[in-house]
Amino acid sequence: MALTIRLKRYGATNRPTYRVVVAEKSAKRDGKVVEEIGHYNPRTEPSTMEVNPEAARRWMEKGALPSGTVRNIFKKLGII
């Protein structure tokens, strides 16, 4: 079971918000998740990013790989 930390899209048409989730790599973008660890809103100025750092580090220690966008969010928050 390969896990990835990625974004799950929420919000109305043309008003996206995202949840940072841990999911299986083969799961659909908005499909089943293992755990929700934060959220990201790119529409605010500046962008709102809130992630539970302990949960993120715990999942990365277990082998979950962050997606490119999530990796950038983690770098901005100082998790990586």
Report the run of H or E that residue 73 belongs to, with start and end.
Answer: helix 68-77
* 66, β-bridge pairs: 5
pLDDT at 30: 85
| Domain span including residue 13 | 3-77
pLDDT at 29: 86
pLDDT at 17: 95
pLDDT at 63: 94
- Give the type of residue at 52: N
Residues of the chain with pLDDT under 50: none
15 backbone φψ class: left, alpha, beta (φ>0; ψ -120 to 50):
beta
Number of structural domains the chain divides into: 1
- Round to whole Å and give the CA distance between 46 and 60: 27
Tell me the three state secondary structure of residue 2.
coil
* CATH label of the domain that carries residue 24: 3.30.1320.10
pLDDT at 13: 93
pLDDT at 80: 86
Q: What mean pLDDT, rounded, does the chain reach?
A: 93
